[in-house]
Amino acid sequence: ATQLSDARFEKLDARLARFQTELTTALGASISPERSLADLARTAAAIFLDHWAAHRFLIECYVRRLGTGLPTETVRDGLHPPLAEWLSAALTARRIDATHAALAAQGLLGLWMRVGLRAAFEPAARQGAIDVLTKMTVGAISALTEEERP
């Protein structure tokens, strides 16, 4: 996990690292090559949003923590490089060029973070968030692979 290089926040950064590891593990366990892209995206969105909702207080603390400033590397690489690497590898497995996969992973994670924040703090938005994340993820991946859209 990306550490934000401030000793005042070591415990919070450690909790974030556990949060990220748990999320990546849960997402990895949901992947099955025989499932459709839309089914995978919908399942991942539900896991993601449920994880964020369960850790709403940590997310709120971290959002406040981000207001203290970010190192350039964190802005460039994102808050969770292992998840970006995992997603990039998953996109590469769908025959997306490695450079495009890395960029698409960052773009998708940005999308998921913004929608996830909204749903974490507005639980009524959960189903709409799952629908939006599924459609936008499938659309983005389909645009890069020319796979059939649902």
As a whole number, mean pLDDT of residues 96-117 equals 92
Q: For residue 25, which phi and psi values (nearest 5 degrees)? A: -65, -45
CB neighbours of 79 closer than 8 A, spacing ≥ 6? 1, 2, 16, 20, 113
The answer to whether the beta carbons of residues 19 and 2 sit under 8 Å apart is no
| Confidence band for 147, pLDDT divided at 50, 70 and 90 | low
The answer to whether the beta carbons of residues 39 and 149 sit under 8 Å apart is no
| Confidence band for 131, pLDDT divided at 50, 70 and 90 | very high
By percentage, how much of the chain surpasses pLDDT 90?
Answer: 42
Residue 58, pLDDT above cutoff 70: yes
Residue 48, pLDDT above cutoff 90: yes
Question: What pLDDT, on the 0 to 100 scale, is given for residue 148?
Answer: 47
| Confidence band for 61, pLDDT divided at 50, 70 and 90 | confident
| Confidence band for 35, pLDDT divided at 50, 70 and 90 | confident
End-to-end alpha carbon distance in the chain = 34
Count of CB atoms situated within 10 Å of the CB of 91: 23
Residue 76, pLDDT above cutoff 80: no
As a whole number, mean pLDDT of residues 24-33 equals 85
The answer to whether the beta carbons of residues 141 and 104 sit under 8 Å apart is yes
What is the DSSP code string of 11-75?
HHHHHHHHHHHHHHHHHHHH--TTS-HHHHHHHHHHHHHHHHHHTHHHHHHHHHHHTT---HHHH
